Structure 1
Amino acid sequence: MRYSKFVAGITLATFSGLASAGLVIDSINVEMVSTSFSARNMAESNEENYAAALNAFQSSEGAVCSEDLQALEDVSYRGTCGGGKRNYGALYTITGSLTGGAEFQFGLDWGRGGFTSADSTDAAVDYFNEDIWWSKNWNNSDVKSYVLADTGDFSLTLLGFEGCCDGINSAQYRTWKTPQISLFSQGGPQVPVGNTSEWATLEVNAVPVPGSLPLMAVGALILWRRRQS
């Protein structure tokens, strides 16, 4: 009986850790390609503009460089893929799961505009028809925010184009446990005040999947019994 209680306690504690994780990032991938395409001054809806820009990225004649990142921090075309400093496109795909809410901030160098989008319910496609350069300063007005709430599994994408200078791209996030009632309004993303975590670098932090929990419990039991003998 002592053994079963011990295993149950381990399993419950592990499940509790998963339940309170908030934001879990499974992967961050970036694809980069040489292209002169510009996403500026596109005239259709945000969704149609995004689809057209993604098609232009995917149909580019340049070779695509794909890299899995541990963190979205100080990423550049030259530093990540060995490309030049001009005329490239970048597609970031971030996958994970979320319980509660999270606000992402993106520091970008996209002189030819770009987009952020997610596959979760009610998520918006944000279109940036401007020359973006955050100057490595999180207080810069060019820093872009994106909010998700109570989504479960999600995939978040960033697609942007740069014509000059190959600047640094980074991301950070903060979370809260209470989901938002309204994701977006005319005033922009609605984020609870005084109920958020500290800003942190966006990085892969996946935890063991639930299927591995029984093995973890058995391993802990074996170790405990050895210590008792």
Structure 2
Amino acid sequence: MATAGTIKQLVSGLTAGATPRAYPRLQRLAAGCAESHGGRDESMFQSVHADERQCASLNDRTARRYHGPDDRNCPNGQNQGTIVRNMTEPLNGKILTAIVAAALAASVGNACASTITVETGYSTAGSQASANDYRSVVEAAVAVATAGYGVTHPTAFNTVSNHGLFAGPTTNIAFEFTIAFGVTAVQAGEWEFRAGTDFGHGGAVFLDGVALGFKSNDMWWAGSYGNPSQHFDYTSILASGNHVLSIYGLEGCCDGGQQVQFRAPGTKQFTSFSSTDGLAEVPEPATYALFGVGLLGLGFARRRKT
């Protein structure tokens, strides 16, 4: 997801003398957003890729985190710069190119619900002594590409398992769940999160990088939240803005289906995180300003060409 910080870095890099072709990260952001979210926001990019719907081969872990479901639709070996070049060539200016491309990427990226990322890797590690230990062990495991494990973006956090997502092993699995979501001013207040997991060697939960807690016992919720020792359940006061819920776990056997849910202030029911949960990331003020400058730039370029 494009953030104000990401956009500033890209713009500063281009204004320092680089070219759009030299920045695969910018190209991936713009190209991926053009194809993502089932076409819901595709109208903004009609003039960009009406004749060429191509996006990059996104093989590295960082790039996959930026996109979402569109990764599965990107055939390998295609030209990742095509869409960006089509969008930027008529503008003749590195600064304007960066602003317009980043603004479009940011505006489309913020138009969806919460973003779910599931990463798995091979691990024989046992129970850990702290939440930070769980995070370190799992992150190291999922960073290594191994057959039968992978990275994906489910549309809903229900019945999630390594075998179900990747047709991989049901034993020796490290899980990293990352859920990015937004809270509006109306939704600010006490939130509750719960996760039904199958972590044979325990796991840990973090919110915005801060540990909420961990459990080192054998955890298998078996589809029920009746036993507190077999699932995670935490409450936290959230201000308006963007937040990230991260869950790390280690499974020995046997990879059962897992679920992660939230309960927002003023609601009685829990809701599974999904592509329809309504928790779109909140655009930051810098994104609005950048998008406005981008539109002005496009208008100026079109007028100049005419």
TM superposition score normalised by structure 2: 0.49
Counterpart of 1:28 in structure 2 is 116
Question: Are 2:252 and 1:163 equivalent residues in the alignment?
Answer: yes
Give how far 1:165 is off. 1.1
Q: How does 1:201-220 map to 2 (within 5 A)?
A: 201-204=272-275, 205-207=278-280
Give how far 1:56 is off. 3.3
Q: Distance in 2 between matches of 1:76 and 1:163?
A: 13
Name whichever of 126-135 and 56-65 sits farther off. 56-65
Question: Match for 2:218: what amino acid?
Answer: D
Match of 1:148 among 228, 232, 236: 236
Question: Given that residues 37 and 56 in structure 1 are in contact (C-alpha distance below 8 angstroms), is that contact kept between their aligned partners in structure 2?
Answer: no
Q: Secondary structure at the match of 2:114?
A: strand
Aligned residues: 166
Give how far 1:172 is off. 1.9
Question: Match for 2:161: what amino acid?
Answer: S
Q: Distance in 2 between matches of 1:51 and 1:159?
A: 6
Question: Match for 2:220: what amino acid?
Answer: W
Question: Are 2:56 and 1:56 equivalent residues in the alignment?
Answer: no
Counterpart of 1:16 in structure 2 is none
User: CA, structure 1 residues 115+81, in 2 after alignment: closer, same or farther (shift >3 Å)?
Assistant: same
Give how far 1:202 is off. 2.0
Flag structure 2 segments of 5+ consecutive residues without an equivalent: 1-111, 289-306
Q: How does 1:119-158 map to 2 (within 5 A)?
A: 119=208, 123-141=210-228, 142-151=230-239, 152-158=241-247
Question: Match for 1:102: what amino acid?
Answer: W
Question: Match for 2:268: what amino acid?
Answer: S
Give how far 1:61 is off. 6.2
Match of 1:199 among 270, 289, 292: 270
Give how far 1:101 is off. 2.5
Deviations 1:9-32 (A, max 9, x none): xxxxxxxxxxxxxxx952001011
User: CA, structure 1 residues 153+209, in 2 after alignment: closer, same or farther (shift >3 Å)?
Assistant: closer
Q: Distance in 1 between matches of 2:225 and 2:262?
A: 11
User: CA, structure 1 residues 208+111, in 2 after alignment: closer, same or farther (shift >3 Å)?
Assistant: closer
Q: Distance in 2 between matches of 1:203 and 1:25?
A: 7
Name whichever of 85-94 and 55-64 sits farther off. 55-64
User: CA, structure 1 residues 61+104, in 2 after alignment: closer, same or farther (shift >3 Å)?
Assistant: same
User: CA, structure 1 residues 94+143, in 2 after alignment: closer, same or farther (shift >3 Å)?
Assistant: same
Q: Distance in 1 between matches of 2:281 and 2:196?
A: 30
Q: Distance in 2 between matches of 1:163 and 1:79?
A: 16
Question: Given that residues 113 and 281 in structure 2 are in contact (C-alpha distance below 8 angstroms), is that contact kept between their aligned partners in structure 1?
Answer: no
User: CA, structure 1 residues 61+207, in 2 after alignment: closer, same or farther (shift >3 Å)?
Assistant: closer
Deviations 1:39-64 (A, max 9, x none): x1x34x533x2443244324546355
Match of 2:192 among 103, 106, 120: 103
User: CA, structure 1 residues 55+107, in 2 after alignment: closer, same or farther (shift >3 Å)?
Assistant: closer
Q: Distance in 2 between matches of 1:169 and 1:73?
A: 6
Question: Are 2:108 and 1:37 equivalent residues in the alignment?
Answer: no
Give how far 1:197 is off. 2.8
